[in-house]
Amino acid sequence: MINIFQMLDEEINLFNELDNISKIHFLEREDIDQIMTDLAKQILLAVQIERVNVWLFNKEQTVLISIGEYDSRTNKFTKDSILRQKDFPTYFKALHENKVILAEDIYTHPFTKEFNELYSKPNDIYSLLDIPIRISGQLIGVICYEKTGCKKKYTEHEKSFCLSVSCVLASNLESRHRRAAQVKLEKTLAEKDLLINEINHRVKNNLAILISLMRMSKERSKSKDTKLLLDEYEQRIFSMLKIHDMLDKNNQYTEINLSEYLLELIAEYKHTYPQISNNFRVEIEDIDHLLSTKKAIHVGLIISEILLNSIKYASTLTKNYMVSISLKQLNKNTLALQIGDNGAGFDFAKETKDSNLGLPLIKDLIDQLEFKATYPTKNNCYYTIEFDTTLAQ
């Protein structure tokens, strides 16, 4: 008697067929129905049966919905059939227990006999092999290999092949699921970026409008003190506006480069106060250090307050007045920002207690950022702020 395995190996190499099936990539073809048909034809030819179906559970796992049913007798592909747990409770229980159902006689097998009138007889099915489909250990459906017209005894070779096909199908379904999730995530991120961009654009426009209104008020005002006050607030607002402007230009909405930001602020002060534009000594190293937008706003306000105080109190009283701003890499993990002028020193701690806004604001902002800092004394007018590059900024 000729061995059945030899016959199969001579007529159909199941492992070659498995390799062919594995090359059907669901992600690379648009017509999923045709893919399912191609898959089914190869399976039916290899296992010598007439029907193969793939069913997936609903979210509650109380209903099985077919994503593909192929019958070689009619060469028809159908889908969207429904099997409900309430109609086939024993079968569903077996699947939920992750059982592989092998029924040489579908009409007498305890897990399948409840299909007799509604499914087996109408489709002339006599034997079946149903293998649960799992993704990451979770049951998601079942693939059914069905013999019509007569009973069939599935060989170990065929069972191994069918099990491998189920694994290939599960892998492809998982790829489709991941791709769908990725597309959804990309869409969500794109919508988020668009929203952030719109918010940033509106904030920038509102700040620009506010600055314009202040400039109009300055032109109309006859009070020197009012103009000076508006100048100060304009610079504070500009330090925030510049952040949003840089975010917009760089399409980056969470961080900005510290070196670039400092240079932008200094350029604006030179433009706003042309009478002292040549009195700036700037040494900003090109350091790739990013600040969060929140901390950048704090740093901008700190610098604005320091510069405003310097221009207001030291520029007219200091011979050869010079503002110095430097950013240097002290060591591998530390940056140092130094800003001040060559005016007479002052007791920062004492003046902070007597000041209404500027100095207390500088101290509060630095404390909030938890930066290490040194302040002016009676012998100098310099602030030094250190940035720990190992910490999230």
Instruction: Give the tens place of pLDDT for each residue, 222-238.
Output: 888 888 788 778 887 87
**pLDDT of amino acid 92:** 95
The CATH class of 4-183 is alpha beta
**pLDDT of amino acid 221:** 84
Nearest CA among 277, 269, 281, 336 for reference residue 307: 269
Nearest CA among 373, 211, 248, 331 for reference residue 256: 248
Greater confidence (251 vs 53) lies with: 53
pLDDT band at residue 72, thresholds of 50, 70 and 90? very high
Kindly state the tokens that stand for 336: 């140092």
**pLDDT of amino acid 32:** 62
**pLDDT of amino acid 17:** 43
The CATH class of 255-393 is alpha beta
Residues 169, 258: Cα–Cα separation, whole Å? 51
Greater confidence (292 vs 24) lies with: 292
**pLDDT of amino acid 194:** 77
Please answer whether residues 149 and 126 qualify as being in contact, where contact means their C-beta atoms are separated by less than 8 angstroms: yes
Instruction: Give the tens place of pLDDT for each residue, 25-71.
Output: 444 444 567 777 887 888 888 889 999 998 889 888 999 998 889 99
pLDDT at 366 over 80: yes
Kindly state the tokens that stand for 134: 């799992």
Beta bridge partners of 211: none
Domain boundaries, the chain: 4-183, 255-393
pLDDT at 18 over 50: no
Tell me the three-class secondary structure of the chain, residue by residue: CCCHHHHHHHHCCHHHHHHHHHCCCHHHCCCHHHHHHHHHHHHHHHHCCCEEEEEEECCCCCEEEEEEEEECCCCEEECCCEEECCCCHHHHHHHHCCCCEEECCCCCCCCCHHHHHHHHHHHCEEEEEEEEEEECCEEEEEEEEEEECCCCCCCHHHHHHHHHHHHHHHHHHHHHHHHHHHHHHHHHHHHHHHHHHHHHHHHHHHHHHHHHHHHHHHHHCCCHHHHHHHHHHHHHHHHHHHHHHHHHHHCCCCEEEHHHHHHHHHHHHHHHCHHHCCCEEEEECCCCCEEEHHHHHHHHHHHHHHHHHHHHHHCCCCCCCCEEEEEEEEECCEEEEEEEECCCCCCHHHHHHHCCCHHHHHHHHHHHHCCEEECCECCEEEEEEEEECCCCC
**How far apart, in Å, are the Cα atoms of 136 and each of 170, 178, 182?**
9, 12, 17
pLDDT band at residue 356, thresholds of 50, 70 and 90? low
